[in-house]
Structure 1
Amino acid sequence: MASEPSQGQPTPEDPVQSIEDDKGDGAPSSITDELWKSMMDVVLAIYDVREADGHDPSRLFHRSVNKRNVPDYYDIIKEPMALSILKQKINKREYKKFTDFVRDCALIPHNAQTYNRPKSQAYEDSLVIKDAFIAEFQKLVEEGVITAEEAELPDLGEIPEADPLPEEEEEEEEEEEDDEDEDESDDEGRRKKKRGSRPSSKRDGVKEDGNKSADPDQRKKRGRPPRVDTPMEARIKAVLKGIRKLKGPGSQLKVRHFERLPDKNVYPDYYIEIKEPIAIDIIKRKSKRKKYNSVDHFMKDMDLMFNNAKAYNQSESQIYKDAVELQIEARKLADIEKKKPDSEYLMEDGRLPLPDGILHKGELWKVGDWVHIQNPNDVTKPVVAQIYRTWQDAEGDKWINACWYYRPEQTVHHVEKHFYPNEVVKTGQYRDHRVEEIVDRCFVMFFTRYNRGRPRDFPPDKEVYVCEARYNEEKHKLNKIKTWASCLPDEVREKDYEMDLYEVPRKIKKIPSPIKHLLKSDAKETDDLPKPTWGAENAPPVVGAVHCRPRDENESPPPEPTPSPPPPTIPQPPAPSVPRQASVSQPPTQAAANSPANALLAAASPIPSRSPAAPIGASQHSPVPVPPIPYHQPQIPPAQVYQSNLQRRSSGYISQGPLPGAYQAPVTPHTYAVPQAPQYSQYQGGRVHAPSALYNPNAPRPVEVFHLSDTANIAIPADIREQFHCDDQGRVLFFSSPPLDIGSTVQQKLGHSLKYLAAKDERRKLVEAKKRKEGSEREERDRATKRQRADEETALTSRVEFAAEFAVEVMTKGILNGTDKIYKALYQGNADAARKEDARAREQRILADRATQAETARILANSTKSTFVSLKGSGLYMDEFEPAV
């Protein structure tokens, strides 16, 4: 130990106090420069520790544990420590005493033994590192740098006993990790390594027996899609599994060195020497993402991995020997697997993978496609899903496995939660469906792109949704998605789609929860989370729930409410001299009724689609004076029966009884309505007075026209739809009032007014003209781009030719100059004469060589003339021989 500091000049053994040594607590460091150097030597020695087989036991302790990968580590370990932290504290001169450094060194193996299980790799490595620290400190004691008391590792507490391992079902190693889910429950599952059975078609599909538990929680399927491996993928997994059986000294797996690439900071020279680094985790990822087209293609990467190890390591090292043995074993396994017939690789239940997709309804449905799937709970709200697997079962039926996306009203969330219009959330539900359950295509866009455009060439009549969050069904939490690629199947993660961008990005405002009204009046913040209402087995909840519990820290507050607009100015009643205009609900005169253009006033011009949630209200135009009109219930002829019980229900003319047919979905009023004259009242003297010219309490409600969603409309049989009035898209129309009696003698077919048809035709012409204009502009841009590209290529060619000529010229000048210098150096003043003499001699040699060659050719021709004649007859030629000289 160094002596106490003296009062005079410090000696080399005396501690030198510095700013770094003093951290403001008034206690200067008592460590000498020699001790600082010794501490750094100890840390560097730990980096260099190697076992007999070449294994580096310090690799796991180079840096602190990544909290994102192992989030519960810091809940258990309160004082994390690593070799990098030791180096940092030494460089910054943070230690006051050498014993503080010894304690930090002891923390590294103690923490590893506290968190990891006995016999695990990290636990075994920590024992080696602990012995290495003890040995290094003992060297310092023997050198007299520190005392034996300072070198002793402190007691940091008892190592807790490990929890018993849960019972696990055996499953292949490569299915242990799943990088496509970021949900907290999935992270927790990966930490605990609990790998249970997965949902299969027999559990999720329609082939269910009727003994399923009625508990809604039992019906929530989570996890990953089922395993549907092609024969090639099964062979690759068999090879990877087979090489894991080889063990080396100490019963350690030989393949452990090849699981991941070396640390770049520890082995920077590896990435300089090895140009194509690869490891087993990269090979597994490529296999999952369908990068291999054959077993031989896969074996090229395996050979590359083993050859890299043999090129970097010495031939006498254990890693080199392991690489040789593993490479031989991998090739042997691959040959065995390739000889087996494909029939041996069918799944246990006879499933046959269909990696190229399923042809259904004249369309190809493949992995990555977004689809609408039949929802038994509500035909108007098909399930939004993405296809993850496609296969055929033993009976020949074709199946898909799809990840469900819930609509906001199917989730449990905070009552103040706001959503984008048309928003869906990703779930952990991977369900199996027959391909016949697919309704049509749809598309889901990440919220960062949704407002900028629409997928290119995607049909305009198909639905496009926006997604921002994942839905954790166990905790009923919505977590914002960080990386959209993590939500997609492996096969399409690296693929992107083109977009037709809007001229200006849309400003999309979030709207309140559609089930906000379901909050109970007596709800409190301390209530338990409500449960969703479940219906059919293989379907999302019928409806979710809302609560008012306190928000989590990571939940953002709802958007600020938009201030209410100022109250409108109440218009004065118009003068009675204004001519009266007919109300939309007024019965037509006989002449008007017989007119072809006004066959039915109730079916007036539809208004473009706005919201599927409610009928469109009155048109907000200036008030039109409509005097009171006596209403007479029109007589309905027998031939004009209401369109169907479904129409009567939507019109309010029939009780809520069951509908005929298989579907019993509520009719949601949609997009058509007829403008009505707005009604105003006047406020006078604290009482409301209604102008007689504008308001009649007995007047009938204006006619409104509705239609169902496309999915619900298709559910109505075609022969029934043909019997009723439909719009131009073939959707059955529903009216809020019964048809008018236009006379039994009138056989005019119901239809739109001439005014509407003329406006529609005009709009169609404008749209076609706009499309033609855009097409011509696009073609002109393409031509200009091609011309520009051709000009650039021509200019580049010219520059290259000029550069080549210039280079040849420079090279020629350099050669001539160099030749001149050589002649001047050799012959000095006689350089020109020597050059001419050499040129003359060279010409003479060339002429002599030509004469010799001609004479030789003449001799050979004369001596082999007869031979060549016979050779030519056999099809051989003289140029194919080399005559002996």
Structure 2
Amino acid sequence: MPLAAAHKKAAEELIANLANTTSSGRGKRKLGEMFMLLPDRETWADYYKVVRRPRCFQGIQDNLAKGNYSSAHAVWEDLNLIFDNALLYNEEQSQIAQDAVTLKKALSEAWLGHAVLPKPRQLQDPPPTKTNGALKSSPTRSQATAPDSAAAAVALVPEVIPDYDADADMPGTPVSTTEEFPAREDEVGEIIEHIESGLPRWPGPGDDGWVEDPSADYLYFAGVLTALRGYKDPSGHRPIDTLDQVEEETADRNLSFSEPLSIQLIEARARTKHYASAKDFDRDMARLFEKARRWHEDDPTQYGKLLVCQRLYQELVATLSTHIPSTSSNFASIPAGPLSAQVTQNSADPNLGMTSFEIATERRVFTESVRYKGWSLRAGDWVHLMNPDDASKPIVAQVWKTFTKEDDSSDEKYLTVCWYFRPEQTYHPPHRQFWENEVFKTAYFVEHNVRDVLEKVCVQFTPRYVKGRPRGPFWYPGWPLYVCDSRFVAHQTPARFSKIHNWRACVPPEIRAVDVPLYAFERPVYPRLLQSPFTRGVRGPGAIVDPTLHQPLHKEEEPVDEGGTIARRRPRRVPGGATPTKSALDKEKEREEPPYAGPTHGTRFPLAYGTGKDLAVHKMGRKGAGGGAGEERTVIGAAGGAANIQGHAIVELLPPETTKLFDRDPETNQILWFSGPPVDMAHSRPPQHSLAYLDFLASKRKKRESGEEEDSPVNGHTEKKQRLVPISMRAKEAWAKMQEAGEAPMSTA
């Protein structure tokens, strides 16, 4: 017997109300959207192993439309199964479990309170219970939420990001799956450490791409090590000393191996003919460099020397030589690095690395991937490349193409990559802040020999970075991880920053439809904000732009204090006293920067200036003298500008024990700071028009709209007011009268 029409209509209304139920927090999140669809069966096969009777709102609505239900009790049972399944698969403290409890309670109240629906009977089968085989990971988009961790207040769930356009909300996907605030600054380090401690480790490099020349024997291995021992850099230091400092014991859990390894051990093995092939020797050296990179990563000087040693080793074994090549670019295959590389044309010397704004195709045979030192490098991979200008700052780049060159008997392999700049490789004002480990996308496409590759890394765009960490093989704990939020347009004058809105356009076409899985946080985790690296004594090809001088500070003009950092100059007043202002409190950081000074190609110094953003202040309703009507002046403007305040004021960060006492903005996680206590006062009622005057205006408007003519007394008599008629209308009337009187001129056409 089909379901009664009244019961069907009531059930449809009830499901619609449940689907639109919102949370009680500030976000007003729709709780029912997580239960509209079932998880993908291929991606979440484990969900269907645990949940034997999966149900969702959309499926029940379809069954109602098809008439598959014979009673209202069957609808009741299926609706309850939705929430029972969510409680079965997810942890009790997870967000989706809490939402399921809320909606199940709302279902009972709505069903019992409905006048048409029958009173539900008890389910014949008890609700499903957790089994030992129940998995703790949960799917996204339909019934996905992470288990909670008491230790770090966040948890991990596998999450697949559908595409690279992370700014756009996917249809049917809730804007926010949690009402938790972003992690506090003092919790970020603890949270990240806790998350990464439970992630799988890198299994190590593969079996392809190693040196496999049968002519290489123990004598050649010893010769390579001797060449490394004998090499001195231009400053007189031996880069191999960085390997001597690495202890033999391997205690870092993030490495791909745990066996003892050192340069002394490898030298002993080479002398005793331990290595049966060049591949075994090459693999041991790659492991040693992996270990040494993590050992020296906190010391830029030693880290740079180590990378020079690694790049020299890779050059020697690639050419099967023990002769040290002459170089002024840290053995890199390109002559210049970020901000100093010249843009060339396709007709340039093919032996030099190409640097252009588009991918060159002439005389190039593109391949799907390149194998090198156990790495499989293909479009979309992120790598560290040798920087010819500063070895301590390897170039962060994304692979776009892999290729070999036509008529190249040496079978050399190359990469076309897109460069990403570090903060010290940009031009910015002194007050600009940066995320920790932030990089900026550029328009430079550069060709590198594969021997420039030092290691794989990962770059996450901001929407993903705050959500979680990539799963393997995209990233493993211990690999360098960067965050990208903006472009740096260095090839224009003036150079500028531009926030990225279309994330898909930033990656190679081959991977724009690739799903990148995440180990997701239960709440956003933002990186720390840091001041300009130049204010901390970091040197780079970039420069600080002083916004108060309307011109950059050239390196020979930059005042330096005793600590080696750039000192602030007293700013000049802008004519008229007008100062650019910003009327709202700054968000998590300066998102988009107006144009700054930047170089033309071939120079390292900015050539022009564009006004940067001032710090957020409360506006003052005072016009600047001669600054034009409507221009407002800020407190910072009256003090001489942002650079003047930061240069002469004492700036100190509040300690965590103090910041935890303040409320925070739920969107930006910044402290809500007010200059004074709130004022509790009644607002006076503004003046209002009388009813008689409003009636007069209404009647006047009514007459005007109806086209009635108004009468007005003149000299005691009432005369009709002549309505104004457009000139064109009056001309037509005069022409018609002339035609009637026969006075209209005859046409000569």
Pick the structure with more helix per residue. Answer: 1
TM-based fold match above 0.5: no
Query: Normalising by the residue count of structure 2, what TM-score does the alignment of the two structures yield?
Result: 0.27
Question: Larger radius of gyration, structure 1 or 2?
Answer: 1
Pick the structure with more strand per residue. Answer: 2
